[in-house]
Amino acid sequence: MDLSYPLGASRYLVPFDPRQVPQFRFDVLVLGGGSAGGTAALRAAEAGASVAVLTKGELLEGNTRWAKGGLAAVINAADSFDSHAQDTLDVGCGLSDPAVVRQVVGDGPRALNELVELGAKFDRETNGDLSLSREGGHSHARIVHALGDSTGIEIQRALTKALEDHPRIRTFDRHFAIDLLSDPDGRVVGVLAANQKGERFAFAAREVVLATGGSGQLYRETTNPDLATGDGLAMGLRAGAVQRDLEFVQFHPTCLYIAGAARVLISEIVRGAGAELRDKDGYRFMPDQHPAAELAPRDVVSRAVFERMVATEDTSVYLHLGGLKGDPHKAFPTVSRICNFFGIDIAKDPIPVRPGAHYHIGGLAVDDEGRTSVPGLWAVGECASTNLHGANRMGSNSLLESLVMGNRAGKFAARAAIEGTASSLDHLRREPAQEVQHVVELNLDDLTYSLKSLMWREMGVERVGPAMADALERLTFWARAVQDLPLESPRAWELINMLTVARLTTFSALSREESRGVHWRSDFPEPAAEGFHTELVPRLANGTVAHVDLRRVPVLQTKLVRK
């Protein structure tokens, strides 16, 4: 197939003249304040850098807050780093880098201890030891959690307080990052952002760290918050950064499914405690699919749930907690409270669940320090691809990765900023595009829903080539229409970012003519003989990202080549 895709995306979304907007200057600028961004900011500040943290919503919001599971770390004598690493490699289906896996797994206890030192309160046994649970893919109980299913909220609380208290960190919440700003040599030197009043500001920085989270809002069914629109991936692409393995999107198998309700994630720790998946007739189907039954890797469980829904012609399957030891209301208070609102008693009533887009495994390609292919630009967390997860993320490894890689990126970005030269935005200026006469007006909300529905149908749990090719044509058509509009609002910026990421994800999925991990194609149901990564390399020309060239990179040959 053709390995080049004509993207036709503008390098910058809006006009910019540094003389007409207020400017702030910092050593390190971090976009995002979750587990990855917050950790990076703290480490950079501790290393002596002046740091700004921009968040799209409030500082306490973001993907980390919604983490219902926990943090995987080897702290039990019966466990080992080798076991955790091997579990991660097995779930990664041949695409995880063993060196990266060992690095992240080995740093888990330190990352956990730093959170405890910040004041994060995790669940403990009566003897004071941290409580440990088991999730799918893990061979040992090694998941640390808070209030059963509220781990993300507790981690975010501790990080947010530390960010607000640090004297070298300044936070700017409710600031939408519109564009990464580059100098004539392509180095990222800052960000153009807008606050909730629509006022625009330029942030100059010697080093910029993207920690913008995921892109779950590309899908109609998702566990992600409204903020997760792939902004970091789209901004990084427009700045020329290489993207890796975008086709790998993980679907969580158990999202609460009630018409009109938000798709609340039912954490994997519920299944780890013994909850069973049954169909509408009460049949427990997971033992037929995998020896680990409900604790099989997430891709296996998601496909089994999807197939059972089709076979039984039902809109969901059902999670049964009646056989759990103890009181499930006390063990899982968040799930209990939400289900009770809809009249479901989790101790005796089945919970309707179905898969939902949960985690974008692919992202901006980075090295083991968090550097992208573009000078001055770093990426951590869900918007980055470190080669830890491979083709399928193991539960609770994402918080671990965010903390470990946030720590590394923050320290190395601070060092680069302190040793580097001051950034300047004075040479940057983008003239307004020629005004276009619009014949029709687009309904952005309707177009957004159509995009999300299309991605759910054609780029969901099960995929097939012809349908994805049709979807790519439709996405391209929509993108051209939106790009001709005056992009003057956060809703328009989000939509163009979503369309950009959706197009690239679909293009990458079409190019991977195999089934591996979370990427399952009915027309190519078997894995290829040799594993490979997909990398999308932007080609910038005449003020646009003219094309992205796709290259297939053999496993263990993914050393990042910087410009």
| Token pair for 561 | 């080549």
Query: Which candidate in 65, 238, 271, 298 is catalytic?
Result: 298
The answer to whether the beta carbons of residues 349 and 385 sit under 8 Å apart is no
In this structure, the number of other CB atoms found within 10 A of the CB of residue 432 comes to 10
CA atoms of 378 and 5, how far apart (whole Å) = 25
CA atoms of 550 and 513, how far apart (whole Å) = 14
Render 380-431 in DSSP notation, one character per residue: -GGGEE-SSSTTSPPTTHHHHHHHHHHHHHHHHHHHHHHHSPPP--TT--BP
Q: Which helix (H) or strand (E) holds 112?
A: helix 108-118
| Token pair for 134 | 């088991």
Residue 264, amino acid? V
Rg (CA), the chain: 22
Strand 200-210 relative to strand 351-360, pairing: unpaired
If you count DSSP H runs as helices and E runs as strands, how many of each does the chain have, helices first?
A: 14, 20
| Strand order across the beta sheet in which 249-256 lies | 249-256, 351-360, 317-320, 276-278
CA atoms of 504 and 71, how far apart (whole Å) = 30
Strand 71-72 relative to strand 143-144, pairing: antiparallel
CA atoms of 446 and 341, how far apart (whole Å) = 29
Does the active-site annotation cover 474? no
Strand 143-144 relative to strand 169-172, pairing: unpaired
Which residues participate in catalysis according to the annotation? Answer: 298
